[in-house]
């Protein structure tokens, strides 16, 4: 579970969230025989990649290649958001507010 510092200021990237639920439970970029400790999902496009403690660090590579800065754990019991651009974490209530906004927008 994420235990990093929680940001105390708004992140300008939070308005860019388009996807909040994963559509896969595997890394989009790892080989089928590779093992990863945890998976992260891009909140802009839904890409799922392995975390920074994995050998390949595909979630970080996705950010570096696309500029999509926001990600979350694919575990639904972990509701934090990480912004690579701002090096900041946001608590579960931030994700819940974003999900409510997206649901209201239809």
Residues 6+ apart with CB under 8 A from 77: none
In a domain, 94, yes or no: yes
In a domain, 42, yes or no: yes
Q: What is the pLDDT of residue 83?
A: 94
In a domain, 6, yes or no: no
- Give a three-class secondary structure readout of 59-96: HHHHHHHHCCCEEEECCCCCCCEEECCCCEEECHHHHH
In a domain, 28, yes or no: no
Backbone angles phi, psi at 41, to 5 degrees: -120, 135
pLDDT tens per residue across span 3-29:
445 556 678 899 889 988 888 999 999
Residue 57's CATH number: 3.30.40.10
The tokens describing 100, both together, are 């409510």
In a domain, 25, yes or no: no
Mean pLDDT value across residues 83-94: 90
84 in Cβ contact with 63 (< 8 Å): yes
Domain that holds residue 64: 36-105
CA distance 100 to 106: 10
Can you give the pTM of this predicted structure?
A: 0.86
In a domain, 85, yes or no: yes
């Amino acid at each position: 579970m994420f235990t990093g510092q929680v940001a105390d200021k708004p992140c300008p990237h939070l308005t860019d969230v388009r996807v909040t639920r994963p559509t896969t439970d595997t890394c989009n970029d790892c080989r089928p025989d590779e093992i990863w400790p945890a998976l992260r999902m891009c909140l802009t496009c839904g890409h799922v990649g392995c975390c920074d403690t994995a050998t390949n660090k595909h979630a970080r590579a996705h950010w570096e290649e696309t500029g999509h800065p926001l990600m979350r754990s694919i575990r639904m019991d972990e509701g934090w958001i990480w912004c690579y651009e701002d090096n900041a974490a946001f608590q579960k209530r931030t994700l819940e507010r974003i999900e409510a906004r997206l649901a209201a927008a239809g």
